[in-house]
Chains A and B, each alone.
Chain A
């Protein structure tokens, strides 16, 4: 790893070739190895991160990135290997130890207490004395200074629950800096941000790099790696498969290394030829349990032979819209027309809607799409188990359900092809393929899909996207809700952007750019908006 050390330079400079004084890297991992039972989660992982640099760590779900980060942060202990901080070997057995070693972590799911103030969250664990009053005053002073130095302004006395996701993330970064972290790990930091918020985050990370911090960015988004990192380590199946300088690689090259074979990042498709409207929604309003409107008077049409994408930051009403359309949630107002029927007034439930040719792949696969403890076979007919092909009267036809599952597994390349295996033992991608197979098998005219590729590896994403486009070409109407902008841009023929429960704008694919959509996601109305 000596070539790594060579690239470490004085803080504020990150030119790769500069022969700086041979300073030890801020963080170095040597042959980290970890097993969980039969699973070899990390295989002899080694890499080093220089102070004043941003190091990308990329890999598919299950590649072992999270395990590795949890080892660095003291949640797990490595079976073998060493961690060095600024050239000194450290033994990290708990988050306390990691903090003491100057390591801070921003978790994907924020580790914040929602009904505490920002200030209380920051001092939790480093209160500076048995009584709060003195510590809080000192912390306030220090945080105001940090905010000035790094441009991390946050209202210190606001409750976390009142803050936007972007600000909450800022609090997490402040927490790390307040604990004097020199090494900052960010785990999928942009998953919950609008593109503009992500840009802001990257600017902030750039400033931290200038200040000499070492930053590890864990992500599966190639675009982010290319945009901000200095070096990138690629992991696959628990091992490091490549470590390269970012400027000497390309998104395609990285994707191939992640998957281990050539992949198409963008599925080719011909322009859509939309036909008649199959589903039309008029002035739909959906309220949550507390009576707060989540979808506010939404109207649109879904035509045969087109894919309509719904973009938006998570929590802007897309989920509620999808559930109302699928018949899981009752709207408080409005009309949904499908196949000559009006679904809301007739109070047709999810099953009746299925019978009318509406299929639904829910956003939260494990909670709503499958029964996690059931076999693949049972899950492959869930919701359609009362159809004649699966049995008569009170009895299920075991042979038919097995045959049905086997056929679906074959057609959708579900691995392992074992109908008796519990669905939770399959990877996310294979679960999703089976759910998709189940819904498509019923030959619906309208297909609603929430987060088609959440928790799905790149290889399977390509497969799923191909199938969805094939369905469109077969004259079906598809509504795709996704928080992944790349996915919306790759699939949709027409894009609806939701913000605060409204469709704030509509764009044809040809005129849609990431920037335009991003602005709408943030609440800025497009000129051609609704």
Chain B
């Protein structure tokens, strides 16, 4: 039964890793489907992680932290929007610039406010973190490993943000394909001229998309610093924003396949953590560095060859102007 427990724990770890990835990927989905490249995912998430931890530590409430995280990420998103939508700037440059700014700004502010070397204080008070919610009967279910363990370890005991992320996939699919807003959003990423001639504001739609991306990045960042760990540390996103972007491309800019990609990346990540120091048959112990590189190697391989042709929204990356 040892293997079974191991697998359940591995899946539980997958869910934990996948949550911020999925939130960021869906955030990117909204932005990119509207035609705005979202290279700022990493920066928005990191900014939100810092703000959420700082506010939660100061006020003692994780909900204020969440609010601060979302507000920060939305602010950064609007910054990108202002540069790329209003002033037709280069979307790649704007996203990168925001990310680079936040990488430096977070720890600097942290040092000034808390004097802890750029970190935020440990969130150990009650209500300062998002913690797991035990479902009724979870403890009892543990007694009977199959299928009880699946219930107690996977379904039950996750925090609110995980459930939110899970609900987000069908929700966003519904928004994209069943609502007026979704139709217009997809149209503006494909042919903004068509949207403009239909009498709909291209910039208005793109701003809405960018703001939604900000909100979701805010939640993702808050998850990192107040749920997955207890406080902000320097560079804590560790490339998850870019990985989310890769997942979104791998998922061909569609919600459900994007979920699949996120789970796959998260699974390799969880597996890599498990494999550290474990002697495997034939190869023996694999060096830690190699194992940690695994998810990224997988990303490169998948994106380079196995995805097939991913067709991006046609107008992505092109600032809209009436003249062609």
Asked if A124 meets B183 with Cβ closer than 8 Å, knowing A107-B197, A131-B178, A133-B178, the reply is yes
User: Quick one: CB contact mask for A109-124 with B, threshold 8 Å, 1 for yes?
Assistant: 1011111100011011
Residue contact B190 to A116, C-beta cutoff 8 Å = yes
Residue contact A105 to B199, C-beta cutoff 8 Å = no
A-chain residues with CB within 8 Å of residue B184 when the two chains form the complex: 124-125
B-chain residues with CB within 8 Å of residue A129 when the two chains form the complex: 180
How many CB-defined contacts (below 8 Å) exist between A and B?
74
Q: Is B8 in contact with chain A by the CB < 8 A criterion?
A: no
A-chain residues with CB within 8 Å of residue B197 when the two chains form the complex: 73, 95, 105, 107, 111
Q: Is B163 in contact with chain A by the CB < 8 A criterion?
A: no
Q: Nearest 4 CB-CB pairs, A to B?
A: A125-B198, A96-B199, A111-B194, A127-B180
**Interface residue tally on B, bucketed by range:** 20 to 34
Dominant SS among interface residues on chain B: helix
Asked if A113 meets B190 with Cβ closer than 8 Å, knowing A75-B322, A125-B195, A125-B198, the reply is yes
Q: Is B273 in contact with chain A by the CB < 8 A criterion?
A: no
Residue contact B179 to A113, C-beta cutoff 8 Å = no
Q: Which residues, 199 to 219 on B, are CB-close (under 8 Å) to A?
A: 199-200
Q: Taking each of B179, B180, B184, B198, which has the highest tally of chain A beta carbons within 10 Å of its own beta carbon?
A: B198
| 28 A-B pairs with C-beta separation under 8 A | A73-B197, A75-B322, A95-B197, A98-B199, A111-B193, A111-B194, A111-B196, A111-B198, A112-B191, A112-B194, A115-B190, A115-B314, A116-B190, A121-B194, A123-B183, A124-B195, A124-B198, A125-B195, A125-B198, A125-B199, A125-B200, A127-B183, A129-B180, A132-B179, A132-B180, A132-B183, A133-B178, A135-B180
B-chain residues with CB within 8 Å of residue A175 when the two chains form the complex: 198
Q: Which residues, 18 to 71 on B, are CB-close (under 8 Å) to A?
A: none
Interface residues of A (CB under 8 A from B): 73, 75, 94-99, 105, 107, 109, 111-116, 120-121, 123-127, 129-133, 135, 175
Other A-B pairs, 19, CB within 8 Å; known A75-B196, A124-B183, A124-B200: A95-B196, A95-B198, A95-B199, A96-B199, A99-B198, A105-B197, A124-B194, A125-B195, A126-B198, A127-B183, A129-B180, A130-B180, A130-B181, A131-B178, A132-B178, A132-B179, A132-B183, A135-B180, A175-B198
B-chain residues with CB within 8 Å of residue A123 when the two chains form the complex: 183
A267 to chain B, nearest CB (A): 32
B-chain residues with CB within 8 Å of residue A127 when the two chains form the complex: 180, 183
A22 to chain B, nearest CB (A): 33
The distance in angstroms between the C-alpha atoms of A114 and B178, with both chains bound, is: 19
Q: Is B220 in contact with chain A by the CB < 8 A criterion?
A: no
Residue contact A131 to B190, C-beta cutoff 8 Å = no
The distance in angstroms between the C-alpha atoms of A190 and B196, with both chains bound, is: 23
Q: Is B233 in contact with chain A by the CB < 8 A criterion?
A: no
A67 to chain B, nearest CB (A): 11
Interface residues of B (CB under 8 A from A): 177-184, 186-187, 190-191, 193-200, 314, 322, 324
B-chain residues with CB within 8 Å of residue A135 when the two chains form the complex: 180
The distance in angstroms between the C-alpha atoms of A15 and B145, with both chains bound, is: 89
The distance in angstroms between the C-alpha atoms of A123 and B314, with both chains bound, is: 20
A130 to chain B, nearest CB (A): 5
Asked if A114 meets B314 with Cβ closer than 8 Å, knowing A95-B196, A105-B197, the reply is yes
Residue contact B194 to A113, C-beta cutoff 8 Å = yes
The distance in angstroms between the C-alpha atoms of A386 and B190, with both chains bound, is: 43
A49 to chain B, nearest CB (A): 20
**Nearest chain-B residue to A127 (Cβ)?**
B180
The distance in angstroms between the C-alpha atoms of A98 and B179, with both chains bound, is: 25
Residue contact A113 to B187, C-beta cutoff 8 Å = yes
The distance in angstroms between the C-alpha atoms of A129 and B324, with both chains bound, is: 31
The distance in angstroms between the C-alpha atoms of A111 and B181, with both chains bound, is: 19
> Which of B179, B190, B196, B200 is within 8 Å of A114, CB to CB?
B190
**Nearest chain-B residue to A126 (Cβ)?**
B198
Residue contact B191 to A113, C-beta cutoff 8 Å = yes
The distance in angstroms between the C-alpha atoms of A126 and B180, with both chains bound, is: 9
The distance in angstroms between the C-alpha atoms of A132 and B187, with both chains bound, is: 14
> Which of A75, A111, A125, A133 is within 8 Å of B191, CB to CB?
A111
Q: Taking each of B178, B183, B187, which has the highest tally of chain A beta carbons within 10 Å of its own beta carbon?
A: B183
